[in-house]
Amino acid sequence: MGSRHVSAAFAAACIQFTAGPDPEPNLREVTQLIRRARDAGAELIMTPEVSNFIESGKRRRDKARREAEDPFLAGIRDLARETGTWILVGSLVIDPAGEPGADPGEERLANRSFLIDAQGGIVARYDKIHMFDIDLPGGESYRESNAYRPGGGTVVAETPWGRLGMTVCYDVRFPHLYRALAQAGADFLAVPSV
């Protein structure tokens, strides 16, 4: 992909769980799974999309926190420090209000992935670009774009093993994004999903 290759073999783990509507039990479950992955030798541990909670409508909006105030993100950062591992948070439901460039009237949330280093620092953030909007037979439709605003661009992050191209879920349907990540020097890719 990129101009360089992954620097060395490394152990990665994709933890699987189904997030519920409450962040606290989700964080407890993810914490146990991350510790198990670390104990099995993982150096980079990845969680699914919307790891903090899955909720709809007004309840989703009410539960969303700004990045600096999100207890799930704070817990994951502490866990990265404790375990000495890098953690790719597949994504969290984040309230982007007040962030630089945020539209003050925007009600939609961000579906944001975070790359956390072994010291608990946020190395990179990526907001999902492509929203899953579909019309089904019988008049049923789903509009992720009603709840989430799209991200603004590609993200390639430096890791100890090479450059990681960050994407989320439905982004996988858009080859131009992966071409852009390769052209930006990504050595490997992450595509967390629900």
Q: Looking at residue 109, what DSSP letter applies?
A: B
Structure confidence by residue, pLDDT tens digits, 43-69: 999 999 999 999 988 899 999 999 999
pLDDT of 111 over the 90 cut: yes
The pLDDT of residue 8 is: 74
pLDDT-derived band at 150 (thresholds 50, 70, 90) equals very high
Structure confidence by residue, pLDDT tens digits, 87-106: 999 999 999 998 887 888 88
Residue 63 annotated among the catalytic residues of the structure: no
Mean pLDDT of 26-47: 98
Residue 29 annotated among the catalytic residues of the structure: no
Q: Give the strand pairing for 12-14 and 44-46.
A: parallel
pLDDT of 1 over the 50 cut: no
- 12-190: CATH topology is Nitrilase/N-carbamoyl-D-aminoacid amidohydrolase (3.60.110)
Catalytic annotation, pick one of 49, 63, 107, 144: 49
pTM: 0.94
Percent of the chain with pLDDT over 70: 96
Alpha helices in the chain (DSSP H): 23-39, 57-63, 71-83, 175-183
Length of the chain: 194
Catalytic annotation, pick one of 43, 55, 67, 169: 169
Catalytic annotation, pick one of 55, 106, 128, 158: 128
Rounded to the nearest angstrom, the gap between the alpha carbon of residue 15 and the centroid of all alpha carbons in its chain is 13
Residue 14 annotated among the catalytic residues of the structure: no
